[in-house]
Chains A and B, each alone.
Chain A
Amino acid sequence: MKDPQIYGYWPYRDRPRIKWPGDKKLAFWVAPNIEYYELHPPKNPHRSPWARPNPDIVNYAYRDHGNRVGNWRLIEAMEKYSIPGTVSLSVAMCDHFPEMIDTVNNLGWEFFSHGVYNTRYAYGMDRAQERQMLQYTVDRIKAQTGQQTRGYLAPALTHTVHTIELLAELGFNYSCDLFQDDQPQPLNVPGNPLVSMPYSLEVNDHYAFNVFGLSPQQYTDVLKRQFDTLLEEGGTSGTVMCIPIHAYLVGRSHRISPFEEILRYADEHKDDIWITRAGDIADHYLANHYDDARTHIAQFGGSDAT
């Protein structure tokens, strides 16, 4: 397979203008990953969750720090600037730490599905199995929070060839699984209208700290530059900036204060930006821009010729 064919080519130049509510230039959202990694995950032949034989207590504790410490610091920082989170949720958290889920639910945070555990991968699942897993996560979030799940990010970014079409089939509105753009885009799958929602690998805290080796302050500087460019370009047509984070990384004592700076930076620019949640961006896009975008993209109809 050369191309999953789930979206069309769409050059960034001269697109129909996206207008966010209040004529804001940039839709800004923060995605805390609230995840659970199992001490004894099931074996998956395609990928091993831990570096050492179970129990890999060093790496397990590294992740668990987020749920004991980091998330509480992060919640406080977000609250300070009244920025709602859009949570990428390992839904097993509803069972393991319901008080944390209830806390952020009461703060008006949105939840989207990030699978059951971040140590249970979709690799190797057939279509029916993946569908069952997805439906379970929708039902579990509903039961715990009352929220209808709108979005998805595959656990540990493990996809199958069916993932995107299953999202449309099950009534999801957005997918954070694709990294091709800084604006939302309609996805070419039958079923519920489904939008690709800009998330980010490049400004993900995991990449910043574990791949690029940035200092806490350097990460904040990267985020500010990302913000500045997308805000500037949003003057032409509305852009989206997501800050995808993990409390076990940014919630550390040496990182939370520098990280708070980007939240303050966003707050200082709130006349120009729409501080919001992914589901609200999807709603606005579906209601105002989805149809125009589909028509516009069609004219670039590149083929997958071999």
Chain B
Amino acid sequence: MRIEGKGRIDRGNKISFRFDGRDHHGFAADTLASALMAEGVRLMGRSFKYHRPRGVLTLGSEEPNALVTVGRGLAADPNTRATMQEIYEGLEARSQNRWPSLDFDLMGVNDLAAPFLGAGFYYKTFMWPKAFWEKLYEPVIRRAAGLGALSGKADGERCDKAFAFCDVLVIGGGPAGLMAALSAAQAGADVILCEEENGLGGRLRYEDEEIGGGRAHLWADDMAERLAAMENVRIMTRTAVTGAFDQGTFGALQRVSHHLAKPGKRPRETFWRIAAKRAVLCAGALERHIAFRDNDRPGVMMAGALRGYLNRFGTVPGRNVAVFGNNSDAHRTARDLAQAGVNVVALIDSRHDAENLAGDVPFYPGAQVVRGLGRKGLDGIVLRLPNGREERFAVQALGVSGGWNPSVHLTCHMNGRPVWDERLLAFVPKDGAVPGMRVAGAARGRFSTAECLKEGADAGLEAAKALGFSGDLPRVPDAEAGRYRIGRLMAVAGKGRAWLDFQNDVTVKDVKQAAAENFRSVEHMKRYTTQGMATDQGKSSNVLALAVLADATGREIPETGTTTFRPPYTPVAIAALGAGAEGKGFAPERLTTSDESTRARGAPMIEAGLWYRPSYFPRAGEETWRDSCDREVRMVRENVGVCDVSTLGKIALQGRDVGAFLDFVYANTFSTLKPGRVRYGIMLREDGHVMDDGTTARLSETSWVLTTTTAAAGQVVRHLDWVRQAFCPNMDVRFVSETEQWAQFAVAGPKARELVNDLLDTPIDGEVFPFMACAERQICGVKGRLFRISFSGEHAYEVAVPARYGASLFGLLADRAEAMGGGAYGMEALNVLRIEKGHITHAEIHGRTTAFDIGFQRMLSGKKEFIGKALAARPGLLEESREQLVGLRALKPEQPLPAGGHLFETDAEPIRENDLGYITSTCFSPTLGETRALAFLRNGRARHGDRIRMVDHLRDQVTWCEVTDPVAFDPEGGRLRD
């Protein structure tokens, strides 16, 4: 119900929304929780395990009970805290974890079975039969337990991530945070002030008190305006700082459009990474419960929340209210309620010596609430008086205060452990727990507003001063300075279930059971009972639970210790953390200049590293990829084919010492290469294994171009950088990637020269341009490069032009090749062509093979030093029994030899112990009319001509084959030359 004359929200602005299919109304600035409370709704959710009816407990992000799903379908947001969800016109929210309805939940039978479902239940019950876990138990448990569910569909781009920077990050916009931001900013520091609620003020928004002679919440509004007007202050509301990380980095989640009826193009949330030179934590404190029987009935809530709803929203959950606490702060709730005209039936303070600070309300010092009555809503409480007599009161709401816990969470994110304060009966942060971060106000256990203001001002100025700024403390206004007093009461003794963790349904009995079963460590207790493991991370239950554990194990709280708080402070959707990286956002796409033309020709694309390359170019009448691939191979072998090879790494090297440098990075010699010539080379890693291969062209005396495989381009540049900086700092050599600068196309086949000559300003012949020649040439009037190199084994060239002309040249080459009976070819044909020729790719030099293994041992120069030389000479890498590169041909020509298949002797059982090697590359060779493969086979070079058996256990394929030389086609290489 709404109390006339109370609240700080605009009652002129009425808003309608729906909850569980029913229409409701609230006012602008209401939260879903306050609006429902105003309409008399107390039951807002069902608990995780027992499906007990639950209502709102708090008014902040720590809320464990009132979790709802907002929106529908793709846009559905599960586990939204009703206390944080601002209402808007058309908001649609649904309760969770109930069936068929919130009011009548069949799974509520779990509650009746509760005696069997206590701590450790899963571990003891579902052990046998073993097979039942996956098939029966787990699905059933998962269905019965749990909170909200996601839609199961891809989310789309609905989140953002972003970076921000500041001198001083102030976390929390309450009285301490406001003063910290002001004093740091006045000193000149660049300040970010993050506040997880939708406005500044913190508790001041919920309290009835004065600052500087005026209303405290209005003072906060004034401060907000004042800070917003400062150029060096950035206020980020609806932004929860979720984690403290190394070197002043903080994670923060901004709720950008959760509160908007029409979010437009706004993201739902933005995950910020904030780099701050200093931080001031003013995160305030969270109130904790007291455990007593049925303390979870809807209508029982935190005392501070109860008066917060009254003061800010003008709402109360019922006409007759009681307040139960163990500390002085609970009295404020009774006072505010009574002053607002609510019937305060009783103020119960467990401290025998407590004084009534609430004014004219029935006061019961030394008494305890032993039980909550009602089921779907509180309708009464049972009180035990100091003399042992019990008394019943009819109430619809009970505010409970078990004391306040400073929000130390962020101070623990870098392994800081909080310290138990016996006076406050709470953990307070340890100084210096996070480098560069100070803690001020209630987060440090300074609970009065006056202390908060003063500490905040000090901490803000100190943070700025530490960065070299200077300034004076701002004037700190007068404020409430009452002293907080608390007496120890964590759990009320008695029968029945007294709840600690509302979200994971953990009771006092569960914790005691854990202790009895020797799970005495707080970490073990947590895992055994699941206390503190739900989305609220035990914000309101941790201290109670470990106090109960301490009692049960006869220890003190400091001795018992506390579990570790880890990021995030509040739940963060993975969608927000990974914003922008879903789908194709996972990695940039690298497109060649021929991409558009290639796709226009209908080529399916495949990924090579980040590049997209054509698989094949289908033509009319071709039904499968093999039809196209076979035709493209024949085209190259018989006419001419064109293929975009721009994706290969191209590294320009210049300087007098390039030759010497290349001699050092390559296994073979390059310094002897003459200008105008190209040489093939292999590069080893330091450990002697092959790293990459490719050709290097010497364009002039001092200018070279080294090529790498597509996937290894980045790795090779990094390697060259490392070698130069680490081993050759005095060599005169400089290099840079030119991969992006040049569009390069292979032109291969018997008619390659005819096609190339068509485009060259000055035609070539075999004499001026023999195999392995290179030169700068005018191509269609453009300065380009021409290389006579071949991956296909045919007479072939690579033609390079500046990338701006790439699309144009590809179109020209492909069209002319088609006119000559050839055309463009894709990766499939390229692969077949090179397998026929026994040319290696990274399928063979996959990181575990040596030059010896691939039959290139003689390329390792004995006349010079080079990277990898020493370790490649290890005896173990040169044994004949190693797996060596061979060719394979299927005995039945069309039978497959799948890559990944393993090799066995014909009479050996195909098991691991008998494994002789494996296939790395495979194809059907239209040229040879049979299936061909490259493989590594033990002692393979000595076994050419042998018959062996290929077994592919995955695809259930057995193929008999013959071992051959890797080079299956034109072994003399005559076709390359003229």
Partners in one complex: no
